[in-house]
Amino acid sequence: MIDKLRPLLAATAGRLVAAWLVIGLAVGGANALGWLEKIELLFYDTAIALSSAPVADAPVVLVGATDVDLGAYGWPLPDDRLAAAIESLAAAGAVAVGVDLYRDRPVGGDEQVLAEVLGRRGNVVFVSKLSAGNLAAIDAPRVIRGGSQVGFADIPVDDDGITRRALLFAEDRGAMQFSLGLRLALRALEARGIKPERVGDSTRIRLGATTIRPIGESEGPYQNADSGGYQLLIDFRESGTGFRRFSIADVLEGRVSPAQIKGRVVIVGTTSQSVKDSFSVPSNRISGDRPAFGIELHGQIVSQLLRLAEGRDGQLLSPPAALEYVWVLLVAALAIGIGWRGRRLPVLIGAGLVGLALIVLIHWLAFRAGWWVALTPAVAAWIAGLGWSIGDSMQSQSRQRAQLMSLFGRYFSRDVAEQIWTRRAEVLGSGGMPAPQQLVATVFFSDLAGFTSKAEVLAPKELTELLNAYFESAVSIIHRNGGSIDKFIGDAVMAVFGVPIARMSKQEIFEDARRAVRSAIEFAAAIEGLNQGFVAAGLPAIAVRIGIHTGPVVAGSIGSTQRMEYTVIGDSVNVAARLEGLDKAGRGDAACRILVSETTRHCLDESFSVQRLGEFKLQGKREAVEVYHVLGFASPAEKVSAS
């Protein structure tokens, strides 16, 4: 048995491994080429948006020039107004003041006032802009150019228009330039006694408790990102709308108390809808809210750097690419493994959805623990593996259906065959063939009386036409009543009611017997009609004997590997055959005689007219059998005769 199974097992294993390798290579290749990056970024943005929350005591305060401020003070904001706001914030105890407004040339003619404030307040940082291709750089105010009070405002934007990364420092015009966010964070950390350190001979810097690790081109949700400069994934841990914020008018008109400013980093910029200084970020991509203002984005960067330096948070880590690929292969193997035994489609779909939810949950938990494990390749591997499993299951079911229909299609009506397919788990064994079972069924035998002598005088064509008409009528009636044709034996028909699905109640067994007897009565009426046609065509009339018995049988596939048939065997089959052959001379001139056993008669109700014939000794039986003659359907006034 094991030797016979080995080729099948080897073929199955080969098929599974081939599917696993194809899916693994396809998903891994697509991921390496960056084809899955857009979907991965969507998953990443969703995770970022879900994890973002307002912070009660954020270290950053935002001061934005609103549309009202622009109407009151003009735009660009004049130097004297800007200088007054900066002086007020610095005097209130701001640990650092960042100005996210370009001021490479004087505005309003009061450059000296602004220069004096910048000279007096060394913790003020103005933005500049890096040169890019044909675009020239934009400098900070003249008095602080080239010094530590300048930080560039440039922020990388991905191809899809979303900002997810911060550029901390980069080389420009022959010198290393620091970003506004990094400059402000360094000022705040310096006030706490924390200074940046270079890590060994590397280009990495250490801020307090954390070594800031620049992202690579294939890190986090990226596969082929531009990783030039020293970039940091922005975690957006603190909702931008959660920062405390004031307007320029609030500051200039004294509506901001020192307690709200002291010890915090203040970033001055614009929050006006009419001035273009906004960025699409993960949260607003998912929620549909307004884009983030530039000062909100710089605030996110400052806040993240401070948390990293204080050890209150860590950078988002990514496992090695090889380890992620192993995870993809494992997911693909699990998905394929679900359906390799050809389970039902609803089970596969349900298991697939549960598995998909578990994968997302695992990745979410990893993200909350500080790891970004690429989700899209895992989901793609799961869907591909599950799709293969479903396809393989459907193909397997198609093979089983074809096998079952080839076995049962000749014996059962279409409705019964469909019922068998629907309940195939009860019928088919582990090898895909009907499992042998013992059940109670009603066996139907019919035979043509005295047909041998009639056949000898008929031409072959006449003989086959007569038999085909007889068999066609029998099969049609038996199928219509839910029976199955077991076999044709010469001019005899053997049918069974109650297979291959075992009847579980007495009522079902009784109904099988009634359908068998009903078929016999309808067949008797059909014979009358057939005989009229035969006689008109010059053919002899036929007489049919029918024997019916209800009892235990063994049902199963019997034969060889070259020819296999589904049939029933047992003493009940012999009793039905003997009843059909009982009283070879027939009874009177009736075209059809129907005999049933006591067990079958016991199953009938008042709708049948039955006559007791007595006990008969059947060939092969030690004890006599009570035999009844079925006369037909009872009239409304009749009852089933027990006499």
pLDDT grade for 346, boundaries at 50, 70 and 90: confident
Same domain for 455 and 546, yes or no, is yes
Query: In this structure, is residue 411 part of a structural domain?
Result: no
How many other C-beta atoms lie within 10 A of the C-beta of residue 551? 18
Is 483 domain-assigned? Answer: yes
Residues 234 and 190 in one domain: yes
- Does residue 382 lie in a domain region? yes
Point out the domain boundary residue: 309, 332, 366: 309
Angstrom distance (rounded) from CA 102 to CA 487? 96
**Are 602 and 507 in the same domain?**
yes
Which residue's entry shows tokens 């980069």?
170
Same domain, residue pair 73 and 175 = yes
Higher pLDDT, 348 or 476: 476
From the list 99, 92, 107, the residue with the least C-alpha distance to 62 is: 99
Asked whether residue 593 is assigned to any structural domain, the reply reads yes
Q: What is the pLDDT of residue 10?
A: 56
Tens digit of each residue's pLDDT (9 = 90 or more) over 37-73:
999 999 999 999 998 877 778 899 999 999 999 999 9
Q: Give the domain-ending residue among 263, 284, 309.
A: 309
Instruction: Say if residue 400's pLDDT is above 80.
Output: no
Residues 268 and 334 in one domain: no
The per-residue pLDDT for range 481-493, each reduced to its tens digit, is 999 898 999 899 9
- Whether residues 189 and 202 fall in one domain: yes
Angstrom distance (rounded) from CA 75 to CA 103: 12
| Domain that residue 293 falls in | 37-309
| Model pLDDT, residue 60 | 96
In a domain, 28, yes or no: yes
Whether residue 347 is predicted with pLDDT greater than 90 in this model: the reply is no
pLDDT band at 339 (very low <50, low <70, confident <90, very high): low
> Quick one: DSSP state of residue 465?
H
Question: Rounded mean pLDDT of 430-453?
Answer: 84
How far apart are the C-alpha atoms of 620 and 563, rounded to whole Å?
29
What is residue 409's predicted lDDT score, i.e. its pLDDT? 61
Alpha helices in 275-320 (DSSP H): 282-287, 294-309
My answer on whether 170 and 203 are in the same domain is: yes
State yes or no: pLDDT of 189 exceeds 50: yes
Nearest CA to 549 among 631, 639, 640, 627?
627
**79 alpha carbon, distance to own chain's centre:** 60
- CATH code, domain with 629: 3.30.70.1230
504 and 605 together in one domain: yes
Mean pLDDT across the stretch 439-454? 91
pLDDT at 342 over 90: no
Q: Is residue 417 in some structural domain?
A: no
* pLDDT higher than threshold 80 for residue 200: no
Q: Residues 241, 328: one domain?
A: no
The residue out of 309, 329, 344 marking a domain boundary is 309
Between residues 173 and 260, which one has the greater pLDDT? 260
Per-residue pLDDT at 435 exceeds 50: yes
In this model, does residue 404 exceed pLDDT 80? Answer: no
Question: Is 424 contained in some domain?
Answer: no
23 and 43 part of one domain: no
Assign residue 336 a region (left: φ > 0; alpha: ψ between -120 and 50; beta: otherwise): alpha
Compute the average pLDDT of residues 355-380. Answer: 95
**Contact criterion met (CB below 8 Å) for 108 and 275:** no
The count of domains in the chain is 3
Residue with tokens 């934007």: 157
The pLDDT tens digits of the residues spanning 541-552 come to 999 999 999 999
User: Using an 8 Å Cβ cutoff, are 407 and 566 in contact?
Assistant: yes
* pLDDT tens by residue, 65-119: 999 999 999 999 999 999 999 999 999 999 999 999 999 999 987 789 999 999 9
Assess whether 450 and 378 both reside in one domain: no
Let me know if residue 162 belongs to a domain: yes
* 329 and 305 within one domain: no
